Chain A
């Protein structure tokens, strides 16, 4: 354990030098670890927008550092250690794959704050986790999809079978079925987060088989571009970023990952000394999940219905997973009026009743 003490003492030295104690700080160095390039137009791009918002909000009082394309595992651990050694006061690790690395490095640098996105492990007091309730946005999308489909076939391009994705599929389907009991959902698993050509092929496959509303959980705009080739017959949604360039085409709305409020808040708390360990899971109410403008392609009554749903979720009067809901095999999950506990959602590994097909296991 010599390395640990060596690192800890190095960190200690830095900490003493910068006088970083709980009473708030004059200047914060905020660092970000990205899984992709900031030019990916989706996931990492949105996190970087959040980082830029922090810079904007505090000007000279913060210094921003970031590292793109950091693989999970050993590389993440090294980048995090380098950042901590290099004087970062707070480090945001923006992919679930960094979970163990974040906690491992946090153990060695008790005075650096670590913020891990979309994970659940907080093994040390200096690790917080944050996530966004994207399924709330999926509920709004599902409502629009159920109302807008003419073929009663809606589609979903999924990446990998993980709870985050399954949660989105279920929410999308439940709300589509709520407004349109005849709706059928087709899910395509692309087995990739990012492969524009394959995503386009997946969208094409859905379209060729009569699907006319497509949602996606992969990172590129390719599915929208494919939908655009149908001259208005097929609509879709922006994913992660607004994808406003398709507003005059198939994009009728979007889910925008808006990390800025959280990043600004947390760095601000570090500056004024009110920072505490938290497990944040904000959604529409907290401004982390934004519903991009619903375009005029959507009839006014459907738009009003979708917006009402958004407002109800924001106000906390409606939870997208409210019983009665059965699992795919017919066994009961939520009883009448019961809302889904967060634990069930975070570990979700089943489809709800009505969805056909299997989750890859």
Chain B
């Protein structure tokens, strides 16, 4: 089954892997923003996670430990953001941007000496025999464990946010911190935990770039993926399954446009290269048209100080 030289099965399998960094980071940011915090430092946390994960994986020889290391590093960096915005009540937008600057700098300093090192490989989860099955093989059985983890996390977060008490508290804090406070919730503490979770997810997303997508360390390896993750959260109206759709849409069009170039589609390359951005905008316009609210948490970006 080929469409002009492009095999849709392989295309889907490819996009599932290439969307993982954005998906993980965007899922984390979704939780952060649902708690009412706008952390624009995703790129910085991703790149720190990419470096941290890389170093830990190389030192321990275990990519799984590496991913955990990446998550820890991302969370650690996010705690600076948490300290500034939750304790010192600093402006979230500016702090997030500063966090990106800081993270890029720290990763570049810390990464000296890791150029040209190969990390331990992250293998596929299922035996090759399963991955060789037609159609379902590449799509369902052909991935490393992080791809399945990213999908599982989507489901878990959807369930947590929708159906659990924890989710209710997070949403309450994000919708109206005053009311949540009045109900006795420690708004800033809850937000701090959400920020750390977001940092960990961004860190894992970054680690996926340096351990699986590209397997290497170079300065600035995430090359702007954090910004796309931020856009995907908005695209998804802060809903986990739609984050997955958004990440797959963006990743899918990116992969598709490169495939169309290889296949010689005749579409001018510069239009193909703009396509992922334009189509994301277009789809968002279509789904948001006619709706009153866009689903943004009401307290998004506002700091909270308990006056009593």
Which A positions have Cβ atoms within 8 angstroms of B? 36-37, 39-41, 45, 155, 186-189, 191-192, 194-202, 204-206, 208-209, 211, 220-222, 225, 228, 243-245, 356-358, 360
Contact = CB atoms under 8 A, between A and B. Distances in A.
A197 B216 contact: no
A39 B112 CA distance: 7
A225 B215 contact: yes
A137 to B, nearest CB: 20
Interface stretch (B25-33, B194-202, B259-267, B280-288): B259-267
A41 B262 contact: no
Contacts of A208: 6-7, 10-11, 14, 259, 262
Interface stretch (B62-70, B157-165, B176-184, B268-276): B268-276
Contact of A221 (B216, B262, B263): B216
B168 interface: no
Contacts of B92: none
Contacts of A186: 261-262, 264
Contacts of A358: 268-269
Classify chain B's interface size.
35 or more
A200 B213 contact: yes
A95 B219 CA distance: 18
Given A37-B220, A245-B116, A356-B264, A196 B214 contact: yes
A186 B259 CA distance: 10
Interface hub of A41, A186, A205, A209 (most chain B Cβ within 10 A): A205
Contacts of B214: 196-197, 199-200, 220-222, 225
A243 B218 CA distance: 13
Given A197-B209, A197-B213, A188 B223 contact: no
A358 B264 CA distance: 9
B115 A39 contact: yes
Interface of B: 5-7, 10-11, 14, 18, 21, 108, 111-112, 115-118, 209, 213-216, 218-225, 254-255, 258-259, 261-264, 268-270, 273
Contacts of B108: 37, 39
Nearest to A188: B261
A45 B115 CA distance: 10
Closest 6 CB pairs of A and B: A205-B258, A196-B214, A195-B223, A37-B219, A360-B269, A205-B259
Nearest to A208: B10
A45 B18 CA distance: 27
Nearest to B18: A201
Contacts of B116: 41, 221, 243-245
A39 B262 contact: no
Contact of B18 (A192, A197, A228, A360): A197
Given A197-B21, A208-B6, A221-B214, 10 more contacts: A188-B258, A188-B262, A191-B270, A192-B223, A194-B218, A195-B223, A196-B218, A197-B225, A200-B214, A358-B269
Contacts of B209: 196-197
B8 to A, nearest CB: 11
B254 to A, nearest CB: 6
Given A188-B261, A191-B273, A201 B255 contact: yes
Nearest to B9: A208
Contacts of B11: 208
A5 to B, nearest CB: 38
Contact of A189 (B112, B115, B269): B269
